[in-house]
């Protein structure tokens, strides 16, 4: 019985082909990474079709997904908007904080978001 166990332990599964050879000729050189500026300039020289979207195209198609809304106070996903101040909030604790804010702080949060100021 011990002979059978030795025979099973000697036959390991082979995961690598014995005839495998690397095809790259890097000669142990480190790979030089291109910056975004180099990638964009290389893309501009290639012949792209008119409707192809790439890094340097500014006419990208609009997204079909609606823009996500985040809380002005915490940055969490905000399903609610205060009708008076137009600030977005995520939960009732944030709303309690939002009610106590002075108008200049509220206007500052709206300016950070890029929303128009409130009509108070």
Q: pLDDT digit of tens for each residue in the chain (120 aa)?
A: 555 555 555 666 667 777 777 666 656 667 788 888 888 888 888 888 877 776 666 666 778 888 899 999 999 999 999 999 899 999 999 999 999 999 999 999 999 988 865 555
Q: How far apart are CA 33 and CA 27, in angstroms?
A: 17
Asked if 71 and 88 touch (Cβ cutoff 8 Å), the reply is yes
Instruction: Give residue 41's Cα distance to chain centre.
Output: 23
Q: In this predicted structure, what is the pLDDT of residue 70? A: 94
For the question of whether the overall pTM of this predicted structure is more than 0.85, the answer is no
Q: In this predicted structure, what is the pLDDT of residue 100? A: 92
Q: In this predicted structure, what is the pLDDT of residue 105? A: 92
CB-count exposure of residue 113 (10 Å: 0-12, 13-18, 19+): middle
CB within 8 A of 99, min separation 6: which ones? Answer: 82
Q: In this predicted structure, what is the pLDDT of residue 19? A: 79
> How many CA atoms lie within 13 Å of 87's alpha carbon, on the beta-carbon side?
29
Locus of tokens 């011990």 = 2
């Amino acid at each position: 019985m011990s002979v059978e166990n030795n025979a099973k332990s000697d036959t390991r599964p082979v995961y690598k082909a014995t005839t495998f050879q690397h095809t790259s000729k890097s000669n142990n050189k480190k790979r030089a990474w291109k910056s975004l500026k180099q990638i964009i300039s290389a893309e501009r020289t290639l012949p792209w079709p008119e409707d192809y979207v790439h890094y340097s195209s500014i006419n990208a198609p609009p997204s079909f997904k609606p823009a996500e809304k985040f809380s002005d106070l915490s940055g969490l996903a905000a399903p609610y908007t205060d009708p008076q101040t137009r600030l977005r909030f995520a939960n009732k604790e944030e709303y309690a904080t939002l009610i106590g804010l002075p108008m200049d702080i509220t206007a500052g949060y709206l300016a950070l978001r890029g929303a128009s100021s409130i009509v108070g």
